[in-house]
């Protein structure tokens, strides 16, 4: 890899995610670039121009001009930025509604439960995929991480809860962070357009093994996902790094979790 | 110089002098005792400056530890727990001990009375108390490392409930709470003191709209402190009760609300960001105006921009909480984006101040130019992060780390260095060595950008902040290596300046009263100023009385 690819391997921030929401994120990067790059360059040019053109040269008899106000210019650089901010806000408002939209009829609902230090993914039939850092303390190995199975091309609703402290669900390719806060129930919809395996990570400091609190997201074609889901016994628990599956008695088998207080 | 009249030879008898002798019987204290018992605003200001700079070096050392741990994947320079302590105390000490108090208490104490022509602060002993609380807070924070379980280890904004006793047992977290509360009280007392000083002790002729921008910015900063710090103290008091008296304000297992902590903390935390920035904007304004030999361009617009930044900053706290799913996104996004407007006004005013001037490019100017470049970039990434959808992508990644270091280090701390190089002659009577200063700036600027520019890309590549180590297969290795090397270079740049401070204290070129052809009142007294500051004041008919007295042919043009 050459240096430029190494440094700018991310398309200057304009990201390519794997969900249908990523177009909105990319659009905001672009609108921000349209305004921010020219403004930044103008200011930078202004700095250089002032330093090069108006710096004091020993022996020069030029005297500094003693003006202080120029109302039209001052008005211009107050009003124009206000308009720009309004436009940026408009795009942002639209994109935010799209990204945050939550479907009433998602194809799949999965509960994402974070704890010190690991993840538990709970499916509607009570099947759980669990993994803790106790089995995953080799940072260079993804073998024993818990896996979140998702179908591609379907609206998957993730429901975020935490058992102890604040964690954050973060998958780089989803271009998305959402906190798991005790006392707050969060949901977000994802429609992943590409099959594949992506790495996720807790993104909020949650104690000693925060760096090891990782997971994998395996996005499968719909029929493969359906076959996988059908093969999971209800209330069974698969623990990453352990070969045997356990099954919970039906009365202690959660089909989803809630941390919202009962009022 | 001509503006200070010679003391009349036939001096009228001064009635105060015998009285003063009665108040302080016996020999005046000297040495360390003088430093720590003085009620002179300049001595207290120096105490603050020195203490906070020690805090800067200490927290900078912690940062070098962080970067050493992250220099390569799967590194084991320190353990997970120690790493968590390093970044927690790095952030805490940089913000609560260095960046804030350095400007609003150190430079504020020293220069606000001088700039408004006052003999001292309004409450000199109260001022001394503030310093003591502050020093106690610093020692309490740093002392956390000496305890059994080490210092606090949950990040500088300590999101509940990880701060509860069950998750973070031990005295480290308690010392963190008490240390921050002490520095908070110190800040509140300083704010009361400086506000009173500005409102009541201005010299005749120094109306509000003739105050230097530095003083204006200090005034707005102090009001932000009064609004923000009590909330912080209250939040910390509740946390203390949770930890020791079994209350459950933030404890979800008994019906407490962790999100309450986030709201309280950021209600303090975002004004705090401007508390850490506005005084530094003031420094940049003063240095650029003086070194351009011009009045501040758009003075009244500048004051307006400062006031609107202060006002807006009270309504943007939840932009740290976009990903909680518990805040009204459009409201906080709109106010956060709006802050770009007054900040932009300041930028154009700085450009206008240099425009058609004769800019003397010395070390102080260079640090200001470095500030402009870094703060510009940090401001643009700030506009990116202010948009919730983009924050969903970037939240808590290294992109955020890069953003706030561009604002706080490349921005505020560079301006702080500009302030040191600009005012050191006033405080010590000697100039800092210019060649060492330029060298320090160049190395620091290169090191800083090498450290933090790659971190933007690291964030886009998905590296979360505060992780102790990382997988070697994710494309983060090279950028982390660059970043760590940059941190060492930047540290070296800082040390050159530290050497300069020591060396020039004894061997620097004698500065005289007004080495930079300054404009504001602090240049009208001797260097260093005597107790109670002024023997005579030039007439104050604009916001730059010293310039008017020295250059009666170059008064500010009226109109536009």
Are the Cβ atoms of A54 and B355 closer than 8 angstroms?
Answer: yes
Nearest to B344 among A77, A88, A184 (CB): A77
User: Is B484 a residue whose pLDDT tops 80?
Assistant: yes
Tokens 């050191």 belong to B424
Percent of chain B with pLDDT strictly greater than 90: 86
A200-234 tens-digit pLDDT? 999 999 999 999 999 999 999 999 999 999 999 88
Mutate to test the interface with A, among B161, B296, B325 (most CBs of A within 10 A): B325
The pLDDT score that the predictor gives to residue B31 is 80
Report phi then psi at B464, rounded to 5: -75, 150
Which of A181, A256, A35 minimizes the C-alpha distance to B262? Answer: A181
User: Is B437 a residue whose pLDDT tops 60?
Assistant: yes
Which of A106, A197, A190 minimizes the C-alpha distance to A146? Answer: A197
User: Is B515 a residue whose pLDDT tops 80?
Assistant: yes
More confident residue, B391 or A10: B391
Tokens 């200063």 belong to B437
The answer to whether B228 touches B267, Cβ cutoff 8 Å, is yes
Which chain A residue's Cα is nearest to B370? A47
The pLDDT score that the predictor gives to residue B126 is 94
User: Is B216 a residue whose pLDDT tops 60?
Assistant: yes
Handedness of CA B42, B44, B45, B49 (dihedral sign): positive
A2-11, B86-95, B403-412, B532-541: which has the minimum mean pLDDT?
A2-11
> Token digits for B467?
């992780």
B243-247, B328-332, B548-552, B555-559: which has the minimum mean pLDDT?
B555-559
As a whole number, mean pLDDT of residues B152-156 equals 93
Q: How far apart are CA B398 and CA B403, in angstroms?
A: 8
The pLDDT score that the predictor gives to residue A261 is 41
Domain boundaries along the sequence of chain A: 7-57+64-100, 108-248
Which chain A residue's Cα is nearest to B468? A211
Omega before A130 cis (within 30°)? no
If 0-12 CB within 10 Å is exposed, 13-18 middle and 19+ buried, where does residue B14 land?
Answer: exposed
- Chain B residues near residue A56 by CB distance under 8 angstroms: 293, 358-361
User: Is A8 a residue whose pLDDT tops 50?
Assistant: no
Distances in whole angstroms, Cα of residue A89 to Cα of each of A86, A94, A188, B485: 5, 9, 22, 38
Collapsed DSSP state (helix, strand, coil) of residue A247:
strand
Give, in words, the CATH class of B44-550: mainly alpha
More confident residue, B280 or B253: B280
pLDDT-derived band of residue A255, with 50, 70 and 90 as boundaries? Answer: confident
Task: State the number of CA atoms in the 13 A half-sphere of A175 facing the CB.
Answer: 26
Report phi then psi at B158, rounded to 5: 25, 70
How many of the other CB atoms lie within 10 Å of CB of B149?
A: 15
Distances in whole angstroms, Cα of residue A147 to Cα of each of A23, A53, A120: 26, 61, 9
Which of B336, B321, B388 minimizes the C-alpha distance to A93? Answer: B388
How many of the other CB atoms lie within 10 Å of CB of A141?
A: 11
Task: State the number of CA atoms in the 13 A half-sphere of A122 facing the CB.
Answer: 17
Are the Cβ atoms of A182 and B352 closer than 8 angstroms?
Answer: no
- Chain A residues near residue B212 by CB distance under 8 angstroms: none
Contacts of A149 (CB under 8 A, 6+ apart): A121, A129, A218, A220, A225, A228, A229
DSSP per position, A61-106: ----------HHHHHHHHHHHHHHHHHHHHHHHHHHHHHH---SS-
> Token digits for B193?
């003191």
- Chain B residues near residue A203 by CB distance under 8 angstroms: 395-397, 464
User: Is A73 a residue whose pLDDT tops 90?
Assistant: yes
User: Is A263 a residue whose pLDDT tops 90?
Assistant: no
Measured CA angle at B221 (ends B225, B110), to 5 deg = 105
pLDDT-derived band of residue A142, with 50, 70 and 90 as boundaries? Answer: confident
DSSP per position, A103-134: -SS-SEEEEEEEETTEEEEE-TTS-EEEEEGG
Q: Cα distance from A85 to chain B (closest Cα, Å)?
A: 6
The pLDDT score that the predictor gives to residue A11 is 58
- Chain A residues near residue B351 by CB distance under 8 angstroms: 43, 46-47, 50
Percent of chain B with pLDDT strictly greater than 70: 95
Q: Is A40 left (phi over 0), alpha (psi -120 to 50) or beta?
A: alpha
User: Is B48 a residue whose pLDDT tops 90?
Assistant: yes
β-strands A186-191, A236-239 pairing:
unpaired
- Cβ-Cβ pairs closer than 8 A, A with B, add up to 284
| DSSP state letter for B510 | B
pLDDT-derived band of residue B475, with 50, 70 and 90 as boundaries? Answer: confident
Which chain B residue's Cα is nearest to A70? B560
The answer to whether A238 touches A131, Cβ cutoff 8 Å, is no
pLDDT, mean over chain A: 88
Are the Cβ atoms of B358 and A178 closer than 8 angstroms?
Answer: no
Give, in words, the CATH class of A108-248: mainly beta
More confident residue, A33 or A171: A171
DSSP per position, B166-202: TTS-SHHHHHHHHHHHHHHHHHHHHHHHHHHHHHH-P
Q: How far apart are CA B318 and CA A212, in angstroms?
A: 28
More confident residue, A81 or A256: A81
Contacts of B200 (CB under 8 A, 6+ apart): B122
User: Is A3 a residue whose pLDDT tops 60?
Assistant: no
B420-433 tens-digit pLDDT? 999 999 999 999 99
Contacts of B195 (CB under 8 A, 6+ apart): B219, B222, B223, B226
Distances in whole angstroms, Cα of residue B58 to Cα of each of B36, B90, B519: 21, 8, 35
B297-312 tens-digit pLDDT? 999 999 999 999 999 9
Contacts of B479 (CB under 8 A, 6+ apart): A6, A7, B454, B455, B457, B458, B461
β-strands A236-239, A128-132 pairing:
parallel
The answer to whether A48 touches B372, Cβ cutoff 8 Å, is no
The pLDDT score that the predictor gives to residue A258 is 67
Strand order in the sheet with A155-162: A186-191, A155-162, A108-115, A118-122, A128-132, A236-239, A246-247
User: Is B25 a residue whose pLDDT tops 70?
Assistant: no
Task: State the number of CA atoms in the 13 A half-sphere of B516 facing the CB.
Answer: 34
A46-50, A150-154, B138-142, B457-461: which has the minimum mean pLDDT?
B457-461
pLDDT-derived band of residue A1, with 50, 70 and 90 as boundaries? Answer: very low
The pLDDT score that the predictor gives to residue A6 is 45
> Token digits for B166?
């069950």
How many of the other CB atoms lie within 10 Å of CB of A38?
A: 10
User: Is B11 a residue whose pLDDT tops 60?
Assistant: no
The pLDDT score that the predictor gives to residue B23 is 56
User: Is B134 a residue whose pLDDT tops 60?
Assistant: yes
B239-269 tens-digit pLDDT? 999 999 999 999 988 888 999 999 999 999 9
Are the Cβ atoms of A28 and B389 closer than 8 angstroms?
Answer: yes
Q: Containing H/E element for B113?
A: helix B108-115
The pLDDT score that the predictor gives to residue A74 is 94
User: Is B18 a residue whose pLDDT tops 80?
Assistant: no
Nearest to B373 among A47, A60, A78 (CB): A47
> Token digits for B103?
């400007």
Nearest to B376 among A43, A65, A160 (CB): A43
CATH of domain A7-57+64-100: 1.10.287.90
């Amino acid at each position: 890899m050459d240096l430029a690819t190494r440094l700018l391997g991310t398309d200057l921030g304009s990201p390519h995610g794997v969900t249908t929401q990523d177009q909105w994120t990319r659009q905001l990067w672009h609108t921000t670039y349209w305004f921010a790059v020219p403004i930044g360059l103008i200011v930078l040019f202004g700095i250089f121009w002032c330093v090069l053109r108006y710096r004091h040269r020993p022996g020069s008899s030029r005297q500094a001009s003693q003006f202080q106000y120029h109302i039209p210019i001052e008005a211009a650089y107050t009003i124009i930025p206000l308009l720009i901010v309004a436009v940026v806000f408009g795009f942002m408002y639209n994109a935010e509604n799209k990204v945050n939209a939550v479907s009433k009829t998602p194809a799949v609902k999965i509960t994402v439960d974070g704890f010190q230090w690991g993840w538990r993914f709970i499916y509607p039939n009570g099947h759980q995929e669990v993994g803790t850092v106790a089995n995953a303390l080799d940072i260079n190995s993804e073998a024993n991480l818990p896996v979140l199975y998702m179908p591609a091309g379907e609206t998957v609703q993730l429901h975020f809860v935490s058992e102890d402290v604040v964690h954050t669900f973060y998958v780089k390719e989803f271009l998305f962070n959402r906190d798991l806060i005790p006392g707050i129930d969060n949901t977000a919809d994802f429609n992943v357009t590409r099959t594949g395996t992506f790495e996720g990570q807790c993104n909020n400091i949650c104690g000693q093994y925060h760096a090891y609190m990782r997971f994998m997201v395996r996005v499968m074609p719909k029929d493969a996902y359906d076959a996988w889901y059908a093969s999971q016994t209800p209330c069974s628990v698969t623990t990453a790094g352990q070969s045997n599956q356990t099954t919970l008695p039906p009365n202690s088998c959660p089909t989803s979790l809630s941390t919202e207080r009962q009022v | 110089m001509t503006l200070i009249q010679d003391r009349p030879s036939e001096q009228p008898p001064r009635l105060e002098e015998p009285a003063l002798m009665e108040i302080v019987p016996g020999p005046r204290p000297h040495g360390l005792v003088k430093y720590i018992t003085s009620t002179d605003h300049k001595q207290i200001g120096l105490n603050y400056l020195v203490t906070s700079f020690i805090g800067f070096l200490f927290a900078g050392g912690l940062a070098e530890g962080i970067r050493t741990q992250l220099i390569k994947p799967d590194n084991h320079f320190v353990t997970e727990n120690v790493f968590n302590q390093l970044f927690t105390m790095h952030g805490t000490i940089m913000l609560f001990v260095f960046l804030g108090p350095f400007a609003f208490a150190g430079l504020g104490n020293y220069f606000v009375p001088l700039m408004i022509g006052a003999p001292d602060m309004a409450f000199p002993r109260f001022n001394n108390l503030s310093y003591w609380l502050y020093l106690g807070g610093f020692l309490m924070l740093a002392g956390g490392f000496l305890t059994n379980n080490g210092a606090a280890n949950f990040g500088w904004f300590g999101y509940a409930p990880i701060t509860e006793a069950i998750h973070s047992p031990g005295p480290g977290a308690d010392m963190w709470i008490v240390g921050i509360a002490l520095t908070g009280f110190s800040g509140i007392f300083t704010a009361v003191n400086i506000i009173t000083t500005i409102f009541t002790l201005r010299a005749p002729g120094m109306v509000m709209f003739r105050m230097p921008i530095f003083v204006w910015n200090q005034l707005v900063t102090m009001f932000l402190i009064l609004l923000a710090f009590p909330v912080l103290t209250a939040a910390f008091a509740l946390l203390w009760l949770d930890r020791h008296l079994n209350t459950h304000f933030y404890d979800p297992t008994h019906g407490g609300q962790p999100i309450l902590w986030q709201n309280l903390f950021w209600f303090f935390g975002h004004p705090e960001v401007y508390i850490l920035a506005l005084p530094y904007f003031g420094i940049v304004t003063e240095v650029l105006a003086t070194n351009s030999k011009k009045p501040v361009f758009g003075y009244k617009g500048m004051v307006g921009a400062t006031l609107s930044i202060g006002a807006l900053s009270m309504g943007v706290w939840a932009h740290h909480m976009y990903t909680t799913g518990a805040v009204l996104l459009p409201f906080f996004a709109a106010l956060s984006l709006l802050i770009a407007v007054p900040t932009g006004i300041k930028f154009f005013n700085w450009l206008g101040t240099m425009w058609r001037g004769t800019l003397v490019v010395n070390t102080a100017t260079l640090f200001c130019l470095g500030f402009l470049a870094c703060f510009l970039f940090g401001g643009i990434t700030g506009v990116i992060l202010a948009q919730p959808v983009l924050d969903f992508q970037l939240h808590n990644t290294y992109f955020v780390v890069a953003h706030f270091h561009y604002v706080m280090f490349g921005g505020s701390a560079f301006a702080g260095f500009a302030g040191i190089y600009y005012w050191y002659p006033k405080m010590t009577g000697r100039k800092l060595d210019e060649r060492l200063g330029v060298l320090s700036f160049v190395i620091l600027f290169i090191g800083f950008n090498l450290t933090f520019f790659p971190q933007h890309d690291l964030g886009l590549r998905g590296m979360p902040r505060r992780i102790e180590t990382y997988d070697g297969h994710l494309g983060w290795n090279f950028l982390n290596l660059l970043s760590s090397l940059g941190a060492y270079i930047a540290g070296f740049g800082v040390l050159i300046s530290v050497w300069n401070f020591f060396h020039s204290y004894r061997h620097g070129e004698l500065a005289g009263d007004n080495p930079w052809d300054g404009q504001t009142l602090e240049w009208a007294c001797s260097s260093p100023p005597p107790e109670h500051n002024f023997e005579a004041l030039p007439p104050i008919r604009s916001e730059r009385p010293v310039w008017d007295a020295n250059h009666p042919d170059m008064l500010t043009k009226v109109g536009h």
